[in-house]
Amino acid sequence: MTETAQSTRPTAPNQSDADHADGVDVPEQVRVRRAKRERMLAAGTEPYPVAVPVTHTIGEVRSSYADALEPGEETQDEVGVAGRVVHLRNTGKLCFATVQDGAGQTLQYMLSQREVGQEELDRFKADVDLGDHLFVHGRVIASRRGELSVFADSWQLAAKSLRPLPALHKESSEENRVRRRHVDLITRQRARDVVRLRAAVVRSLRETFHSRDFVELETPMLQTMHGGAAARPFSTHMNAFDIELYLRIAPELFLKRAVVGGIERVFEINRNFRNEGADSTHSPEFAMLEAYEAYGDYNTMATLTRDLVVTAAQDALGTTVITLGDGSSYDLGGEWADIQLYPSLSAACGEEITPETGLDRLLALADQVGLSIDPKTAISGKVVEELWEHFVGDHLYAPTFVRDFPIDTSPLTRAHRSIPGVAEKWDLYVRGFELATAYSELVDPVVQRERFEAQARLAARGDEEAMQVDEEFLQAMEYGMPPSGGMGMGIDRLLMAMTGLGIRETIPFPLVKPLEH
C-alpha cells in the first residue's frame, strides 16, 4: 500500500460502519480511540509505523544507569526507547509516561513543553492513551525524585491501542485472565513470570538430557492407533487416505521403536491429547516429557528424574524449596521418600492388602470410603490404585517415589524381578498429584502380545481407556529391544509443583469453552 493510499483510509463517513462492524455496540472508550486513530491518519501521522528508531531496550537503559544517577542529575546520552504506556501523568507543561516492556520492566518518559514545544505537547496529550506503544528519543536523566527517565526531544506513537486496559491495580477474574491472556500478560507480573519460568524449566530439562547424551526426537501426533497410556483419545479424519486417525495420548510406542532401532537414549518433550475432563489438574492437551534409556531400569530412571527436577528448580527458581500461597512449603531437593504401593496402602487403611487380595474385598473397601467404581470394568489393580490414591497419594506433598504397581494396570511394564505379583513401576507424587511415572520396560514381545490381548478384552467390556493391539509395535519388539528404563513426566504438572498454581495458570493459552453468540 502506498503512502497516499494509507493517508486516505476511511474517515468520518465510514465511522458508524466501523463502530458496528463486529455486530455489537462499541464501548465509548473504543470509539474514542478509533477516532484518535482516524484523526492521526487525517493529519498525516501514522498510528502504526512500520518501524521506530529504537537504540536501546528498556532493560538496557535500566541496567546501564541503575543507581548511577543522583536525583536531578542529567546525562548527555541520547537514546531511542519504545514500550507500552502503563501509566500517564499529564500536568500542564510537563508530562510523565511510564512504559513497560514484555518482561514487566518499566521506564519513565518526560515530555516538557520547553523541550518539545507547545504543539508537540498538545499532540501528545491528545493522541496518547494508556496501552499505546510509545517511542521517544531523548537524553537519559534522573527526575528530581530520582526516577530514571528519558527526557524526550521527540516522540512518536509506535502502535495505537484501541481497547482500554483493565484497572492495573485490581486482579482480574480467573476467567478473564485465561480468555484474554494477552491482557493478563500486559497487566500481571505473575503471569509474565510464569511464562518465562516455564521456558526456563523446559530449557533446563533439555540441557540435562543433552548433558547425559540423550537424543531429542519428535514422534507422530497423528496416529492410526492410540496406545502407550490408558486414556480416551480424540479422533479425527484424514481426507487423503480416508481413514480415522487419533491424536496421540502418549509417544511411548514410537519412542520404544526408536530404542529398538538403536537410539538408545532418547527423549521427547511435546503435547499429548486426552479426551477427558478439564479441571484444576487436567487439561485436554498437555505437555509431556518421555525418556527411554537402554540398559537402564526403573532405578536409573529414578536417579534421572530427580536430577531433572532438582536441576530445573535450581535453574529456573534458584532454589528447590517451594513456598505456596498459603505459606506451606516443601523441598524438591534432598533425599526423596521411597515407599511401596501395597505396604503403604496396607498401613494407611489398617488392613493387609496384597496382589492376592480378592476383587470383591477391594470393591467392598472402595465402597466403604465412598469411591464409586464401575464393577463392569473393575480389575483388582485399578481398584488398588484408586484406594491408594485415596488413602495415601492425595496427602503426599514432598516428592515421594511409590514403587511396585499392580501388573494388570501396567501393560507395558515388566514383572518385578523378585517380588511376585507386581510390576517394576514407580509413580512420583508431589503436592498430592502424580508428577511422573517410570518402568522397567517390558521387552518380551510374547508377553507384550498377551498384555495387549488382555487390554483388548477390557476394551470389549466397555473400558474406553484400554489400549489397542498394536501390531506394528509388536513387530518392532520382535526385532529385540534392549532392557530399558522409561519415564514420563507432565511438564504442566512440574510447573504446578514448582509454583503451587493450577494447571490453567501454567499453560499460557489453555483450552476454554467458547462463549455463545
Partner RNA sequence: GGGCCUCUAGCUCAAUGGGUAGAGCAACGGACUUUUAAUCCGUGGGUUGUGGGUUCGAGCCCCACGGGGCCCA
Residues that bind RNA (CB under 7 A): 25, 27-29, 32, 72, 87-94, 96, 98, 108, 110, 112-114, 126, 129-130, 143-147, 149, 163-164, 166-176, 279-280, 370-372, 502, 504, 512-513, 515-516
Q: Give the Cα separation of 164 and 183 in Å (integer).
A: 10
Beta partners for 440?
485
Closer Cβ to RNA, 85 or 412, answer by number: 85
Q: Determine phi and psi for 493, rounding to 5 degrees.
A: -70, -35
Closer Cβ to RNA, 87 or 203, answer by number: 87
Supply the minimum distance, in Å, between the C-beta of residue 403 and RNA.
Answer: 27
Joined grid coordinates for residue 514: 467458547
Closer Cβ to RNA, 339 or 363, answer by number: 363
Closer Cβ to RNA, 359 or 371, answer by number: 371
From the number of C-beta atoms within 10 Å of its C-beta (0-12, 13-18, 19+), residue 68 rates as exposed
Supply the minimum distance, in Å, between the C-beta of residue 338 and RNA.
Answer: 29
- What is the separation, in whole angstroms, between the first and last Cα of the chain? 35
Supply the minimum distance, in Å, between the C-beta of residue 397 and RNA.
Answer: 16
Supply the minimum distance, in Å, between the C-beta of residue 157 and RNA.
Answer: 14
Supply the minimum distance, in Å, between the C-beta of residue 28 and RNA.
Answer: 5
What's 499's DSSP letter? H
Closer Cβ to RNA, 131 or 486, answer by number: 131
Phi-psi region of 367 (alpha: psi -120 to 50; beta: other; left: phi over 0): alpha
Supply the minimum distance, in Å, between the C-beta of residue 115 and RNA.
Answer: 8
Supply the minimum distance, in Å, between the C-beta of residue 113 and RNA.
Answer: 4
Supply the minimum distance, in Å, between the C-beta of residue 409 and RNA.
Answer: 20
37: Cβ contacts below 8 Å, ≥ 6 apart: 47, 160, 162
Q: Determine phi and psi for 339, rounding to 5 degrees.
A: -125, 170
Closer Cβ to RNA, 68 or 168, answer by number: 168
Closer Cβ to RNA, 99 or 245, answer by number: 99
Alpha helices in 218-373 (DSSP H): 252-260, 298-317, 341-349, 359-368
Q: Give the Cα separation of 46 and 156 in Å (integer).
A: 9
Q: Give residue 274's Cα distance to chain centre.
A: 16
Q: What's the sign of the alpha-carbon dihedral 373, 378, 384, 389?
A: negative
Distances (CA, A) of 249 to 16, 214, 272, 507: 49, 22, 5, 18
Supply the minimum distance, in Å, between the C-beta of residue 161 and RNA.
Answer: 11
278: Cβ contacts below 8 Å, ≥ 6 apart: 284, 511
Quick count: other Cβ atoms within 10 Å of Cβ 102? 15
Supply the minimum distance, in Å, between the C-beta of residue 170 and RNA.
Answer: 4
**Cβ atoms 399, 337 nearer than 8 A:** yes
Closer Cβ to RNA, 147 or 207, answer by number: 147
Q: What's the sign of the alpha-carbon dihedral 299, 305, 311, 314?
A: negative
Supply the minimum distance, in Å, between the C-beta of residue 33 and RNA.
Answer: 8
Q: Give the Cα separation of 264 and 332 in Å (integer).
A: 29
DSSP assignment of 459-492: HHTT-TTPPP--HHHHHHHHT----EEEEEEEHH
